[in-house]
Chains A and B, each alone.
Chain A
Amino acid sequence: MGTIYLDHISATPLHPEVRRAMMDYLNNGFGNPVSQHRIGDAALEALEEARAAVARLINAKPEEVVFTSGGTESINHAIKGVAFAKAKRGKHIITSNIEHNAVLKSLRMLERVGYRVTSIPVDKFGLVDPDHVKNAITHETILVSIMHANNEIGTIEPIAEIGRITRERNIPFHCDAVASAGVVPVDVKQMEVDLLSIAANQFYGPSGVGALYIRPKTEIWALLDGGMQENSHRAGTHNMLGIVGMGKAAELAREEMDQRVEHVLRLKKAFIDGLGLIDEIIVNGHPTQSLPNLASISVRYVEGEGMMLLLDEEGICVSTRSACASGSLRASHVLLSIGRDYATAQGTLLFSFGITNTLEEVERGLEALKKVVATLRNISPLYRKQKEG
């Protein structure tokens, strides 16, 4: 009975070919791509090869891709960089109620220095209505930031429709595609975004490396000032090992995307079908317009951290969105936004599947879940009250 990893939304294992590419680079390359000698040129070649692969993954041009330290940096850069660059034009930003904390807290920081933020509510599936975005736009709006796929409930937002609205009005549009890029098709042209954040550890690349797509002529400041790297968008010596890994991972993700989607979707369906064995479980997110690799469930009358810890005892690794497991004790803003009450939000678990998972592993995950839920409901005063009516 080995470990079963069903937490690919937190991080994916390195693809063997990514590991090989990184080991090769580790053994043979060390130069700084900025150096104008043969060792530097070799590094530059590896850097640009990786950049081209990442660009192809999102249908961008290589020169539109800036490497960063991951999704959080990309998001901070996009939001604060545009806000600062356009401060003289206006100070109004539009976002949604279910964004990742990297977006929320970047905006909170901007609010402290005088920006105004309008946050769009979502429906019970977590969908943003593009008309709401349109209606929120004022002549002072300088940025719209809406995520592609939500990392807690999996819902995929109508980004292209929002992109059409912002493009018409010439307002920069940032899309946090960290949970979706490399998992499902992401096309910056079709989505009409100006900025898009992605991270390698969502598609079998290493942690600590990501990228920000910046459409040409977008007004944006750098977050990190210093050298001329990345077209002066991002100073600092490149994390070459991570970038090489991300490039390889992007190449593989693009080539294998169809098979991967088919595989994880089969696992997700088997999982959700199997949930019928347990009473009082809610599946969160949109039934079809959602990430193929993520199943977000709320188990009523029990708390998520306890389930997660007991599942770990059974060898099953999952995530929880229970407040108790996070630093703060506040229920997830995403789950509250889609109408879950506090207690139900507390019982939320994320099962996320990957290319190495099997149907047998999903079955074992379900069995373990059933056992764990029964154990904790046996202790739960809420469950007893519910049974007694």
Chain B
Amino acid sequence: MYSEIVMEHFKNPRNVGRIEDADGIGEVGNPVCGDMMTITLKVKDDRIEDIKFETFGCGAAIAVSSMVTEMAKGKTLEEALKITNKSVAEKLEGLPKNKLHCSNLGADALHQAIMNYYERRGRRPTLRKRRREKVEPLEKPEGHCYCPYCDVELTEEAPTCTLCGKPTTHRHE
């Protein structure tokens, strides 16, 4: 069900671990919803010199973490902020539909680690970009909101699930 490249990253994940004296830390997800991802960064001259991840989650979540760290490594912070959930999923040649939320975690954790670096330095990124990307709807945003984490249809349009607080997706019948 996974693409070859997803399986390859899952079986041989890059940049596993945790940088102890990290310059930035990003932690997203929570085990209640099934996955959790931590990214630690080392920054030199505004460039990501080293990056490592730890993930509790399925094969897709681990492959996404591996890919996002590989994409970010060596990039400037501003370049790294341009990495989106979508671009990670694309690099992995797609994910099964019910796994798209895993790709959301990857870029979110990276962006959070970068923002954490800026905060520690008391700086703001010059690039004006929302830290949290709007979640790509799985289908056209008609129909109603659905939380893939809790497997419930939400009664009203909501960007996040009323039960677990994670991003919802839209789907139609």
Q: Which A residues contact B (CB, under 8 angstroms)?
A: 301-303, 305-306, 309-310, 313, 322-325, 327-331, 342-343, 346, 378-384
Among A325, A328, A343, the residue within 8 A (CB) of B31 is A343
* Inter-subunit contact A381/B38 (CB<8 Å): yes
* Inter-subunit contact A379/B62 (CB<8 Å): yes
Judge whether B35 is part of the interface by a CB distance below 8 angstroms.
Answer: yes
| Docked pose: A245 CA to B89 CA in angstroms | 45
Question: Assuming A306-B57, A330-B149, A379-B16, what are 7 further A-B pairs, CB within 8 angstroms?
Answer: A309-B59, A322-B34, A324-B57, A328-B148, A329-B149, A346-B31, A379-B62
B27 to chain A minimum Cβ distance, whole angstroms, is 8
Judge whether B112 is part of the interface by a CB distance below 8 angstroms.
Answer: no
* Inter-subunit contact B150/A330 (CB<8 Å): yes
* Inter-subunit contact B16/A378 (CB<8 Å): yes
Q: List 13 A-B contacts (CB under 8 A).
A: A306-B57, A309-B7, A309-B59, A313-B11, A324-B35, A324-B57, A327-B98, A328-B148, A329-B34, A379-B62, A380-B55, A381-B54, A383-B56
| Interfacial chain A residues near B13, Cβ < 8 Å | 379
Judge whether B33 is part of the interface by a CB distance below 8 angstroms.
Answer: yes
* Inter-subunit contact B59/A342 (CB<8 Å): no
B141 to chain A minimum Cβ distance, whole angstroms, is 20
Where chain A touches its partner, the secondary structure class is helix
A337 to chain B minimum Cβ distance, whole angstroms, is 16
- Known: A329-B98, A346-B34, A384-B18. Is A302-B56 also a contact (CB below 8 A)? yes
Using C-beta atoms within 8 Å of the partner chain, give the interface range for chain B.
Answer: 20 to 34
| Docked pose: A323 CA to B148 CA in angstroms | 10
A379 to chain B minimum Cβ distance, whole angstroms, is 5
Contacts across chains A and B counted by CB atoms under 8 Å:
82
Residue in chain B with minimal CB distance to A342: B32
| Docked pose: A381 CA to B11 CA in angstroms | 18
Among A310, A329, A381, the residue within 8 A (CB) of B55 is A381
Judge whether B58 is part of the interface by a CB distance below 8 angstroms.
Answer: yes
* Inter-subunit contact B54/A384 (CB<8 Å): yes
B151 to chain A minimum Cβ distance, whole angstroms, is 4
Residue in chain B with minimal CB distance to A328: B151
* Inter-subunit contact B55/A324 (CB<8 Å): no
Judge whether B101 is part of the interface by a CB distance below 8 angstroms.
Answer: yes
Chain A proximity mask over B122-151: 1 for CB below 8 Å, otherwise 0: 000000000000000000000000001111
| Interfacial chain A residues near B27, Cβ < 8 Å | 381
B126 to chain A minimum Cβ distance, whole angstroms, is 31
| Docked pose: A331 CA to B151 CA in angstroms | 10
Among A322, A380, A381, the residue within 8 A (CB) of B58 is A322
Residue in chain A with minimal CB distance to B58: A324
* Inter-subunit contact B148/A343 (CB<8 Å): no
Residue in chain A with minimal CB distance to B38: A381
| Docked pose: A346 CA to B35 CA in angstroms | 9
A282 to chain B minimum Cβ distance, whole angstroms, is 15
* Inter-subunit contact A380/B149 (CB<8 Å): no
Q: Which 5 A-B pairs have the closest CB atoms?
A: A324-B58, A343-B31, A328-B151, A381-B54, A330-B151
| Docked pose: A133 CA to B58 CA in angstroms | 38
